[in-house]
Structure 1
Amino acid sequence: MLTTQHIAANSLRDNASAGVRARIERLTMEMGSGRTSDAGRALASDFSEVSRVVHGLRTLETRAAALSGAEMWLEGGQAGLDAVARSSERLDETLQVALAPGDTPQFDQAAGVARAALTDMASALSQTHDGRAVFGNGSADGASPVDLEVLLAETAAIAAAAPDAETMIRDLEAYFAPGGNVERGALGDFPADPAVFPLGDGDAISMPFSAREDAVRSVLLTASIVASLPQAGFALTGADVETLRAEMSARGVGDRADVATLQGRMGAVQSRVADRVEGLEAARLTLEGQKNDMLAADPYETATRLQEAMTKLETLYAITARRSRLNLTEFLR
């Protein structure tokens, strides 16, 4: 018959075997991972150095996230300028036909294409990243950096007030120039300072572009000159047609060259960001190596402790089996 002493002894053995099994499982994981499960034992209870390394890794993660955001911002900017350049090229192709010498100028067709180009450009320049305007110096108010409605209305008013093509073009140039009225209306609704991605320790990546860049103003100006022709306050004949032909023939190529130069500036920033990312990855691998070295398990010691635990478990099982046989014999009596 089982006594209270038998039950207590069996309970102790069960607890002991459960503890040994847990130890075997832990040691087996150490063998597989190569890292100790007892950081305090590995570090002799001195966590200061590993804390420094862990803090360094977290700092690198934060910087890597900021650099990733900067990379996506710049990629979006490049894509936007690609779209602007394509719109400029389509308009230029239309102008070459519409204003070809010897043919009747097709101003209405050209103006329609120019308005479509302005719409496409404004859309390309209105993209956002994490709710911040890429070409609006990081503005988060949801407004487009290019207010197309205001732009069309103000440029149409300038065209309507001009007595000839030469005056209209010069007045539109003044409108789009740095400090011009475009900055108080169509291009005025976003911060003046560039968007910045802080990296910590006083370091940061600044985004060197917005819808107020000279290259952007130039393509918008060219499209606006053509788009506003139907509202012109003068007859589009004779000297005015020749002025427009001469003016427009040189603008398209120059505009796209300016956009390409701006993209080159952005590319230089992308290169610096890529260098930072590469440097952070090298630093991360170094710190990870230091952390692994601190927390590495000695494979020989782990194997020895694992063998001892397995031997102990086998002994407990043997004792349990032997006691079970004795208990059965005693019961049969």
Structure 2
Amino acid sequence: MTRVSLGDASLANMLARQGAELRGQVQRATQEVTTGRHADLGKALRGDFSPLLAIDASIARLSAFGRVATDAGTQTAAQQAAMAGLSSLATGITPMLIGMRDFQTAAQTSTLGAQARGRLESAIGLLNTQAAGRAVFSGVETGTMPLGPADDMLAALETAVAGATTGGQVAAAVLDWFDDPSGFGAFYRGGSPLPAVAVAPGQMVGPGTTAMDPVLRKTLAGFAMAALLDRGVLPGMHEERARLAVVAGETLLAGEDGRIALAARIGIAEAQIEAARTRNAAETTALGILRSEIASVDQYEAATRLEAARTQLEALYLLTARVSRLSLTEFLR
């Protein structure tokens, strides 16, 4: 019987190829055991990446919704804080203004006028609130403060009430100025309300309150009426000045329900945004888990393959060592 054998060079090449293949298997199996993920995801998915691409697209879309929701949440939170500040300013001075029905001293009227002017400045500051570098009551003109200084507003109002001889006339002129497009409408520096934005799939929220809101204008009007007392309106007419203080207090009091309703409306938007953020986060987590499951490997199976590859590699090293000792000297020994 004729015995056929491979040449030394051919045998060496075959052993080298097998060694390289087994080392690659050990390396891939070790990586999979360590990371818990497929070393060759394309092979594991048989070249079909569509499930992963769909998941990644959904995660990216939810991330975009999340950024929009975060921005909208920041804006509504700042608006809500400003509303709380406005209500506090109004309730702090309203009883004193209305109390001028019974106490009509010139000194007290002047003192209330000074207090009202300070509160008007504070109210304007609240409406000029910025969040993340954007004015929250300026509508689409987020880079512009919606209102100018209180002194500029009072100067314009002094012109509007010129010629008025009673507290009622001054109050009516102030209210007309705040309703006039060429009055407060021209004083307002912002733009139209922000449009509703998508904060989650199929969910729109519009944090569109601006300083032009009727509730805010009425509140400012109440402060401004009383602040004009500090500018010397109706000089020498103590009773009319006191009457103007009373009307200012009544205006602020009448606007209380409107401020509560506006704060509630902003609060509803806040709740919707927070619910959307929670929903987006839950969906992102679920998609992340699904993606991980698709890309993950059975570590027990990977460990089994690793052990098998190591055993084969050790056997190959042993065989190679023995083959490498086959020489004429060894044969004759």
Structure 1 residue 173 displacement after superposition = 0.5
Kept in 1, the 8 Å contact 2:31–2:39? The answer is yes
Q: Is the contact made by 2:158 and 2:228 (CA closer than 8 Å) also made in structure 1?
A: yes
**Within 2, Cα distance between the matches of 1:178 and 1:321?**
100
Using the size of structure 2 for normalisation, the TM-score is 0.80
CA distance in 1 between counterparts of 2:130 and 2:324 reads 74
In terms of mean alpha carbon deviation, does 249-258 or 212-221 score higher?
A: 249-258
Q: Distance in 2 between matches of 1:95 and 1:232?
A: 16
Amino acid at match of 1:22: Q
Contact map agreement 2:85 2:126 (CA 8 A) in 1: yes
CA deviation vs aligned residue, 1:1-59 (integer Å, no higher than 9, x gap): xxxxxxx99x99997897566335302224xx4x3232112211111122111111111
Letter in structure 2 aligned against 1:91: I
Cα 1:316–1:135 change in 2 (3 A) is: farther
- Structure 2 matches for 1:1-333, cutoff 5 A? 19=24, 22-30=27-35, 33=36, 35-95=37-97, 99=100, 101-102=102-103, 104-105=105-106, 106-140=108-142, 142-148=143-149, 149-177=151-179, 179=181, 181-185=183-187, 187=188, 189-199=189-199, 204-229=204-229, 230-238=231-239, 240-241=240-241, 243-244=243-244, 246-312=246-312, 314-315=314-315
Q: 1:163, 1:234 within 8 Å by CA — same for their partners in 2?
A: no
Alignment check: 8 A CA contact 1:215 1:262 kept? yes
Instruction: Tell me by how many angstroms 1:91 deviates.
Output: 2.7
- Counterparts of 1:178 and 1:194, CA distance in 2: 22
Distance 1:114 1:19, change over 3 A: same
**Would the alpha carbon gap of residues 178 and 42 (structure 1) be closer, same or farther in structure 2, given more than 3 Å must change?**
farther
- Deviation, 1:202, is 8.3
1:161 is paired with a residue of what secondary structure?
coil
Q: Distance in 2 between matches of 1:222 and 1:147?
A: 17
The answer to whether the Cα contact below 8 Å between 1:125 and 1:211 also exists between their aligned partners in 2 is: yes
The residue identity in structure 2 corresponding to 1:281 is A
Q: CA deviation at 1:179?
A: 3.6
Structure 2 partner of 1:3: none
Q: What is the CA distance between 1:168 and its match in structure 2?
A: 0.7
For this pair of structures, how many residues does the alignment match?
Answer: 317
> TM-score, normalising length from structure 1?
0.80
Distance of 1:303 and 1:172 partners within structure 2: 82
Aligned to 1:4: none
The Cα offsets for residues 149-185 of structure 1, whole Å up to 9 and x where unpaired, read as: 4312111223443222111100101111264610012
Deviation at residue 102 of structure 1 after TM alignment: 3.9
Distance in 2 (CA, whole Å) between partners of 1:128 and 1:110 is 29
- Provide the C-alpha distance between the structure 2 equivalents of 1:173 and 1:36, rounded to a whole number of angstroms: 72
Instruction: For 1:42 and 1:51, locate their aligned partners in 2 and report how far apart those are by CA, in whole Å.
Output: 15
Bigger drift between 167-176 and 118-127 goes to: 118-127
Contact 2:113 2:226 (C-alpha < 8 Å) held by counterparts: yes
Rg larger in structure: 2
Q: Tell me, what secondary structure is at the counterpart of 2:57?
A: helix
Q: 1:246 to 1:12 in 2, by over 3 A?
A: same
Q: Structure 1: 5+ residue runs without aligned partners?
A: 1-7
What's the CA shift string for 1:93-118, capped at 9, x where partnerless?
A: 55356x26145141221121111111
What is the rounded CA distance, in whole Å, between the counterparts of 1:249 and 1:79 in structure 2? 23
Q: What is the CA RMSD across the aligned residues, in angstroms?
A: 3.5
Distance 1:108 1:124 in 2: 24
Residue identity matched to 1:147: G
